[in-house]
Structures are given as structure tokens and as C-alpha cells.
Amino acid sequence: MTVSRVINNSGYISQETRERVELAIAELGYVPNALARSLRFKQTKTIALVLTDITNPFFTTVARGVEDTASEQGFSVMFCNTDESQDEEAEYLNVLVQKQVDGVLLVPAVSSSESVTFLRERGVPFVVLDRRIPEVPVDTVRCDSELGAYQLTQHLLDLGHRRIAVLSGPAAVTTAADRVKGYCGALEAAGGTPLVVYGTFTQEGGYRMAQQVLSAAPRPTALFAANNFIAIGALRALREAGLRVPEDVSVVAFDDLPAAIVINPFFTVASQPAYEMGQRATALLLDRLNGKETFQAQEIILPTQLIVRESSAPPGS
């Protein structure tokens, strides 16, 4: 008890006792057991970040924003890769709840409400990141995928493209769906006919989807990749088909690559403020934990930024 008082600087302690205790602590290399503390206070000072794949630079940057913000406030972060699998996600959430994390930042693999319901039933605060859970009011921090896609498509339309294909992600993922929606909105307003293929948010997916749309006749003059990996895969397919970018086919994409890892910024993109998304989501979650945010669910929607680079040009240029 006396030791506890010394460590936590609480209550009255005589100078002499304090020094004796501190000496003993140093000598023994004593470290307080945060587990026991957590058990008592029902607070672990730990949050979890559940995402699909930390290997994607977008999520890496988000993760960095999360960790920085969390550690500033004395929280640790556990991270989990679901690989877009709902089962993995459920399994991780189960473990996290058992481990009594104070809160969860979740990039849901699918837009169903199961995970969210699971957490809510067990009283674990959470913030949904990057994607939406339709029809359920939950704290969410994400970008405006629809508007970003609209702008990206509009940019292609302005350049004169009419046959624009979307290489999308899984239909069940809201960012994929929203981007398709924004694209359709812009395209239909201009009297074009949507051409949409669905696949995975991976390089392989982009490669396959690109091959698929390129075999169509007439060939699209522009491709819209729903994320960075898809864009890279698509580019590979274009090269193999002997098509030049942007001369033969323009390419635009969602998600920019960090300046630190890219040699030649090339893709025209709708860039998402990944670091800030991580920051904001964490701040919101911690506010909830501290009871600062007690009102209803809020949705923080950040803007994307259209950055025009060399991968897009007028058709047949």
C-alpha cells in the first residue's frame, strides 16, 4: 500500500519512507503490474486497430496517425490484419474484447453490422474507420469516396474521355461501392455508359480487372482504379498489352502513395489524408472513452484532394 502511494504520488507519505521505498524499487527493478491495475479499474489503456492489411501504404499511414495520437495520451495500440475476411475480423474482435481493450478502431471487412453489434453488445466503444456501416448510426471517420470519385471521373470527362472503366474493389465494401456511385453520377450526367468490374483491392485484382476491360470492344480510353494497388496491377496489364499511359489509355486512382516511397509521382489521384484520418479517429475514440463525447454517433467526413499528374491526358493524344 505504501509502495502504491509512492508510485502514484497519492496520499500522505513521509519524505523518509518515500526515499526508502524508492531505493527498494530501484534495487529490485520493481515494475508495477499494469494487469492487476487494469483488473481493478477496468481500464487497460490499450486500444486496438483492426484493419485489412497494414502492408497497404494508405493503412500504414493511418496506423501511424493512430499510434502517435494514442501514445500521446498514454494508450498502447494492438494491430490486427483481417485480409478482408469477416471471419478473421470476428475472431480478432473476440480476442480483443476478452483482452479488455478500452476501445476499437475498425476498418470493417464488409458493410454488415455484425461486428458493430458485437462490440456494442459488449459495451466496447469503437470508431469505424475508412468505411461505412450503412443504416446503423456509428461513429465514423472516413473520406468522401463518392465525391472524390465524382471529381476523378469529371477530370477524365473534362479531358474528353467517354469510355471510362472502373476497376473496383469488392462490391460489399462501401468505399468500393461509393466510388462506383460517384463515378456513375459523373458519367451519366455526361451521357456516358458506365462500365464497372469488381475484384479485390490488390495488385492481382487490378491486373485481372484491367485485362478484362481491355478486351472489350471498343476499348475504354481511360481506367479508374478504386485504390492504389489496383492501379499498379492495372498498369502492369497495360504494359503487357503494349499500351502506353496516358497516350493510349489514361489511368486515375484513389489513394496516393507517400512521397517518401515514390520515385516519380505519376498517377492522377484522389488523395486521402490518411494520417489525419488515423489521428481524428483515435481522438474521437479517446474522447468517448474519457466521456467527453457523450452525444450521439457522429460521422467525420474528410475531403479527398484531386492531384493531376501524368497518367491522365486527352484520349488519343
HEC states along 87-148?
HHHHHHHHHHHHCCCCEEEECCCCCCCHHHHHHHHCCCCEEEECCCCCCCCCCEEEECHHHH
Residue nearer to a second copy on the CB measure, 80 or 214: 80
Residue nearer to a second copy on the CB measure, 169 or 192: 169
What are 195's strand-pairing partners?
165
10 touches DNA (CB under 7 A): yes
Asked whether the beta carbons of 284 and 297 are under 8 A apart, the reply is: no
111 touches a second copy (CB under 8 A): no
Residue 185: CB minimum distance to a second copy, A: 29
Asked whether the beta carbons of 203 and 226 are under 8 A apart, the reply is: no
Q: How far is residue 59 CA from its own chain's centroid?
A: 5
Residue 20: CB minimum distance to DNA, A: 8
Integer Cα distance of 38 and 101 in angstroms? 10
Choose among DNA, a second copy, none what residue 77 binds, the Cβ cut-off being 5 to 8 Å by kind. Answer: a second copy
Phi first, then psi, for residue 307 (nearest 5°) are -120, 115
What is the contact mask toward DNA in residues 41 to 80, using x (rule: CB under 7 A)? xx--------------------------------------
Residue nearer to DNA on the CB measure, 98 or 264: 98
CB atoms within 10 A of CB 233: 24
Contacts of 81 (CB under 8 A, 6+ apart): 51, 52, 53, 54, 55, 88
Closest CA to 71 of 272, 276, 279: 279
Residue 113: CB minimum distance to a second copy, A: 16
Integer Cα distance of 164 and 274 in angstroms? 27
Q: Candidates 70-78, 154-162, 171-179, 289-297: pick the segment binding a second copy (CB under 8 A).
A: 70-78
Integer Cα distance of 243 and 214 in angstroms? 10
Choose among a second copy, DNA, none what residue 10 binds, the Cβ cut-off being 5 to 8 Å by kind. Answer: DNA
33 touches DNA (CB under 7 A): yes
One of 8, 71, 193, 317 touching a second copy (CB under 8 A): 71
Residue 23: CB minimum distance to DNA, A: 14
Q: Using CB under 8 A as the criterion, which residues of the chain lie in contact with a second copy when the complex forms?
A: 29, 31-36, 38-39, 44, 46, 53-55, 57, 60-61, 63-64, 67-68, 71, 76-81, 92, 94-100, 121-122, 202-203, 228-229, 232, 235, 257-264, 266-267
Q: Write out the residues near DNA by the rule CB under 7 A.
A: 1-5, 7-8, 10-14, 16-18, 32-33, 36-37, 39-42
